[in-house]
């Protein structure tokens, strides 16, 4: 489905931007993707997101929608075929709860491990694995978080798996050993074209992380 009035302001290593790409791909929506330089933000980004001045921003019919999970819900409600959120109110509330949990715990956990050092890094590794195990418990033996169908919580979490190799390399740990069901789920998600085409290769992420650490004196 083509929609010439859809523009995504993105920064390619961002897990939050990846969420939006997956949601758009799941709905079959074509769009223009504009890459941002977060150290020299465009006037368009500052105009479209004057509060946070951050990506991702979805511009639909010249109107901005900000914050990744908010954007995913907007996409789900605007293009109604193939829903990402459950129709049942309770299940929908649970999906939003886990989306919020992922936002509040996984991003910071991932970044702290690959940028950290020494004792603090060891603490952060434990905290991240605890969070991932909690999410893995919610997944259980299901194919996807909502059951048999790929949905909202999968969209919220799977972009962070593109950072797992970087976390494992810098943190000297194995997420697969700690959370085998979660890693199996991630591999299952990557079999979907909508996911595989929306996530950069883990080596690209690792190269970006190396450059980031060098630039910020974190080596």
> Could you report the average pLDDT of every consecutive run of 10 residues in the chain (219 residues)?
78 98 97 96 98 98 97 96 94 98 96 95 97 98 97 98 98 97 98 98 97 89
What is the spatial distance between Cα 178 and Cα 79, in angstroms, rounded to a whole number?
38
What is the Cα Rg of the chain in Å? 17
Which 8-state DSSP code applies to residue 52? T
pTM: 0.96
Containing 51, the helix (H) or strand (E) segment is none
Task: Identify the pLDDT of residue 2.
Answer: 42
Task: Identify the pLDDT of residue 163.
Answer: 98
Task: Identify the pLDDT of residue 81.
Answer: 84
Task: Identify the pLDDT of residue 218.
Answer: 85
Alpha helices in the chain (DSSP H): 15-27, 43-48, 68-78, 89-115, 118-139, 152-157, 164-171, 175-178, 180-190, 193-196, 202-215
Strands 63-66 and 57-60, bridge-based pairing = antiparallel
């Amino acid at each position: 489905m083509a929609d010439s009035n859809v523009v995504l302001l993105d920064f390619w290593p961002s897990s939050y931007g990846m969420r939006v790409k997956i949601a758009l791909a799941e709905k079959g929506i074509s769009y223009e993707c504009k890459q941002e330089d977060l150290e020299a933000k465009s006037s368009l980004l500052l105009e479209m997101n004057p509060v946070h001045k951050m990506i991702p921003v979805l511009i639909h019919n010249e109107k901005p929608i900000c914050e990744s999970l908010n954007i995913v819900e907007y996409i789900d409600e605007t293009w109604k075929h193939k829903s990402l959120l459950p129709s049942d109110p309770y299940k929908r509330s649970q999906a939003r709860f886990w989306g919020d949990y992922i936002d509040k715990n996984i991003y910071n956990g991932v970044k702290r491990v690959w940028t950290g050092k020494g004792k603090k890094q060891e603490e952060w590794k434990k905290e991240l694995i605890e969070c991932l195990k909690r999410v893995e418990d919610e997944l259980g033996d299901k194919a996807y978080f909502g059951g048999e169908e790929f949905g909202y919580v999968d969209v919220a979490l799977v972009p962070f798996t593109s950072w797992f190799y970087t976390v494992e390399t810098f943190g000297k740990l194995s997420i697969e050993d700690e959370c085998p069901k979660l890693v199996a789920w991630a591999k299952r998600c990557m079999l979907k074209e909508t996911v595989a085409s929306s996530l950069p290769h883990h080596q690209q992420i690792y190269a970006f992380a190396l450059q980031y650490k060098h630039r910020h004196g974190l080596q």
